[in-house]
């Protein structure tokens, strides 16, 4: 290339630079306008729209405005044909798709998560044994804050394909206690007391009605099932508080919570004697095993012998 040709090609370069600078400026203005639009929408809709919906509206507003500016202003400014871009984009899409399947998978999963909405920002969820609050749903990943305050990023593909348990999707939730009382106590009285406690609890819902009934006659106790429905926002506080209230109130009314105990009946009459004076009342077996009969502290040792336990136990 000679000097003349080089000079003749020069005027095109500043024009291209100008176009690029112009496009960047327009893009910066679009981003600033998007931010302004986001702030305006946030302020005006904060009290009127719940957080999950508001987040989607803000994202759609922001990215929608930028996309619109790119298509309407930046592409014509830079002289890029949108039809050509579509073809190029299609080819590139295939190439990128093969190269980055997981990213595209996460992107598509994120789209479907936003459309299907099995979880919302602020919900308490369990995704593949990851339990916590949903902090954000992005296009590639979902952010969870676990109950112990950890930040957890889960790829959207995992979220979409895993079993999701949403603990707060419904407006109410039921919790249950098993209250075991002694066989000697009056179960009907216990049920009456528990029902009174539930009636006095504002957030123990009237409908669906609570259930209090004798469920099983267990080995050690008469088991009363207590089922209470509560608003989803209140159930945990109630569950952690009410069982102790039930226990204390039952005890105040003479009804004890039973604990495991076993009564043993022997076929023959037991030869039991109270060992009061170890020097004179030693059992023959103990005398054989313990020739030091003159020891005065033998009582404890006799009780300690496995084969002597039944013989020495008091009724």
Partner 1 sequence: MYDKYTPPFTLNFEGHEISVEKDRENLIYRRTCSYETVEKILLNTQGDFLINPIEPVNLPKPITSFLLIDFEHPVVVGPGTKQKIYLTFPVETGIFIIGRNGDHELIDVLTLSNIKYTLYGAPNNGVVCRYWKSKAFTSYPHPDTRYEGDIELDIINDTTYWMEVTKAVFNAYGMKIYYGKEQLSMRAFMRIINRNLAETGFMTYTTTAEFKRSIELYTSRKIILNGNRGIMEHGL
Q: Which residues contact 146 (CB under 8 A, 6 or more apart)?
A: 130, 131, 132, 152
Q: Does 205 bind partner 1 (CB under 8 A)?
A: yes
Residue 54: CB minimum distance to partner 1, A: 11
Stretch that binds partner 1, among 30-38, 149-157, 216-224, 229-237 (CB under 8 A): 229-237
Neighbours of 104 (CB within 10 A): 16
> Can you tell me which of 170, 276, 288, 296 binds partner 1, judged by CB under 8 A?
170
Q: Does 262 bind partner 1 (CB under 8 A)?
A: no
The answer to whether the CB of 165 falls within 8 A of the CB of 159 is no
Q: Does 93 bind partner 1 (CB under 8 A)?
A: no
Q: Does 122 bind partner 1 (CB under 8 A)?
A: no
Q: Which long-range contacts (CB under 8 A, 24 or more apart) does 284-292 make?
A: 285/311
Q: Which residues contact 59 (CB under 8 A, 6 or more apart)?
A: none
CA distance 312 to 315: 9
Stretch that binds partner 1, among 109-117, 180-188, 204-212, 288-296 (CB under 8 A): 204-212
Stretch that binds partner 1, among 118-126, 137-145, 163-171, 249-257 (CB under 8 A): 163-171
CA distance 181 to 189: 11
Stretch that binds partner 1, among 15-23, 47-55, 96-104, 176-184 (CB under 8 A): 47-55
Cα–Cα distance list, 213 to 110, 149, 150, 225 (Å): 46, 39, 41, 6
> Can you tell me which of 26, 49, 143, 308 binds partner 1, judged by CB under 8 A?
49
Q: Which long-range contacts (CB under 8 A, 24 or more apart) does 70-75 make?
A: 70/27, 70/30, 73/26, 73/30, 74/23, 74/26, 74/27
Q: Does 208 bind partner 1 (CB under 8 A)?
A: yes
> Can you tell me which of 4, 163, 184, 207 binds partner 1, judged by CB under 8 A?
207
DSSP state of 210: P
Stretch that binds partner 1, among 16-24, 212-220, 226-234, 284-292 (CB under 8 A): 226-234
> Can you tell me which of 202, 268, 291, 315 binds partner 1, judged by CB under 8 A?
202
Positions that interact with partner 1 (CB under 8 A): 47-49, 169-173, 199, 202-203, 205-208, 229, 231, 233-234
């Amino acid at each position: 290339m000679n000097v003349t040709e080089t000079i003749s090609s020069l005027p095109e370069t500043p024009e291209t630079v100008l176009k690029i600078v112009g496009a960047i400026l327009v893009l910066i203005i679009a981003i600033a306008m998007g931010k302004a639009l986001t702030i305006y929408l946030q302020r005006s809709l904060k009290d009127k729209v719940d957080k999950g919906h508001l987040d989607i509206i803000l994202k759609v507003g922001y990215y929608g405005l930028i996309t619109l500016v790119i298509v309407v202003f930046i592409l014509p400014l830079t002289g890029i044909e949108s039809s050509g871009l579509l073809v190029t984009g299609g080819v590139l899409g295939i190439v990128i798709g093969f190269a980055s399947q997981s990213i595209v998978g996460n992107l598509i999963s994120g789209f479907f998560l936003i459309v299907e909405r099995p979880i919302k920002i602020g919900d308490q969820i369990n995704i593949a044994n990851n339990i916590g609050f949903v902090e954000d749903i992005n296009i590639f990943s979902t952010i969870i804050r676990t109950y112990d305050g950890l930040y957890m990023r889960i790829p959207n593909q995992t979220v979409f394909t895993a079993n999701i348990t949403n603990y707060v999707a419904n407006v109410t939730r039921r919790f249950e206690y098993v209250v075991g009382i002694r066989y000697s106590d009056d179960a009907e009285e216990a049920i009456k007391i528990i029902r009174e406690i539930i009636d006095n609890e504002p957030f123990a819902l009237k409908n669906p009605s609570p259930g209090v009934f004798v469920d099983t006659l267990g080995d050690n106790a008469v088991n009363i099932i207590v089922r209470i429905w509560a608003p989803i926002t209140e159930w945990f506080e109630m569950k952690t508080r009410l069982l102790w209230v039930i226990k204390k109130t039952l005890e105040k009314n003479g009804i004890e919570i039973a604990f495991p105990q076993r009564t043993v009946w022997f076929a023959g009459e037991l030869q039991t004697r109270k060992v009061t004076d170890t020097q004179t009342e030693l059992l023959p077996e103990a005398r054989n095993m313990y020739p030091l009969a003159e020891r005065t502290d033998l009582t404890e040792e006799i009780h300690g012998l496995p084969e002597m336990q039944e013989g020495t136990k008091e009724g």
